[in-house]
Amino acid sequence: MRAEPGHAPTSTKIVVAGAFGVGKTTFVGAISEIEPLSTEALMTRAGELADDIAATPDKTTTTVALDFGRITIDEGLVLYLFGTPGQRRFWFMWDDLVRGAIGAVVLADTRRLEDCFPAIDYFETSGLPYAVVVNHFEGTRAYAVEDVREALTVPDRVPVRVIDARRRADVAETLVTLVGHARELAVV
């Protein structure tokens, strides 16, 4: 896609959602061509009552508003990435963050797969195209895509991938998959 001379490229918004500590900030940071805007704040003792850190005991910060990054696909297309906060107490912001998006990436962690159900339900209900993406953490058991799909009862039409959110190539392939999925649904 090339922008016509004198015209700005098309910009597209993608939301990166999922549970607390699943890798949304890492996902955005791995691909962004700009220094990502991150609203990470130090976790406090007060947060221990609200946030289950059993699966992520080394986590010291948390997103309290959003993450923002940008990636230029070519002269004609720029993707803006908006990462949501994962804790339930911040879900009231999701409607605003999702407004205008063409699709969403739902990040999942197989150590606590049930934590991604609220995000999947949100996008199923809203009708926004989404892809489920397992962020495979080192030292955890690897699962086949079809096993993840079955465990989450994700419809066949929804892309499911297993990636390492730290790897730029994995994130890029995920975004290409999601944009293609959103385009297919827009044509139907």
Task: Choose among 141, 71, 87, 156: nearest CA to 109.
Answer: 141
Q: Residue 180: pLDDT band by 50, 70, 90 thresholds?
A: very high
User: What sign has the CA pseudo-torsion 87, 88, 93, 96?
Assistant: positive
Q: Determine how β-strand 130-135 pairs with β-strand 160-163.
A: parallel
Q: Write down the residue that tokens 């044509």 correspond to.
A: 187
Which amino acid, one-letter code, is at 36? Answer: P
pTM: 0.82
Q: Residue 186: pLDDT band by 50, 70, 90 thresholds?
A: confident
Task: Give me the pLDDT at residue 9, please.
Answer: 73
Q: Classify domain 10-187 by CATH number.
A: 3.40.50.300
Burial class from Cβ neighbours inside 10 Å (0-12, 13-18, 19+) for residue 9 reads middle
Domain spans of the chain, in order of start? 10-187
Tens-place pLDDT, residues 93-143: 778 888 999 999 999 998 889 999 999 999 999 999 999 999 998 888 889
Tens-place pLDDT, residues 44-61: 565 555 555 565 656 555
CA triple 50-121-59, angle to 5 deg: 35
Mean residue pLDDT of the chain comes to: 84
Spatial CB neighbours of 54, under 8 Å, sequence gap ≥ 6: none
